[in-house]
Amino acid sequence: EPEVTQTPSHQVTQMGQEVILRCVPISNHLYFYWYRQILGQKVEFLVSFYNNEISEKSEIFDDQFSVERPDGSNFTLKIRSTKLEDSAMYFCARGGTTQETQYFGPGTRLLVL
């Protein structure tokens, strides 16, 4: 099954700035996920999105984070006011034809200075 695509591949931002990470294009899928991987650490679940609503979120996914699917296709992760510790690789994943499978995009590497 094809993986999702993500943009940008890399982003450098100043602390306190807002960033928007995107999964594009996506159609006809119900489940979407965001994960992050801080350098040298394990991949961590952030949030799952089902039928255009957040279905589950982790402790990491605080008020600084939001997700939406604004045009019914792109799936975005917004970080409102970035912190140094938000520097990580952010992966989008979509559910497969069976609910238990997830297919990951190549990731966006975010660096907060």
Partner 1 sequence: GEDVEQSLFLSVREGDSSVINCTYTDSSSTYLYWYKQEPGAGLQLLTYIFSNMDMKQDQRLTVLLNKKDKHLSLRIADTQTGDSAIYFCAESNSDSNSGYALNFGKGTSLLVTP
Residue numbers of the site for partner 1 (CB under 8 A)? 3, 31, 33, 35, 41-45, 48, 50, 55-56, 58, 91, 93, 95, 99-107
Distance CA 113, CA 85 (A): 10
Nearest approach in angstroms of CB 31 to partner 1 is 5
Q: Which is nearer to partner 1, 27 or 98 (CB)?
A: 98
Sign of CA dihedral 45, 40, 89, 17: positive
* 87, two tokens: 């520097």
Q: Locate tokens 């799952």: which residue?
A: 48
User: CA torsion angle for 14, 17, 23, 28 (degrees, to 10)?
Assistant: 170
Nearest approach in angstroms of CB 105 to partner 1 is 6
Nearest approach in angstroms of CB 27 to partner 1 is 18
Q: Which is nearer to partner 1, 76 or 102 (CB)?
A: 102
Largest Cα–Cα distance of the chain, in whole Å? 40
Q: Which is nearer to partner 1, 33 or 86 (CB)?
A: 33
Q: Which is nearer to partner 1, 52 or 81 (CB)?
A: 52
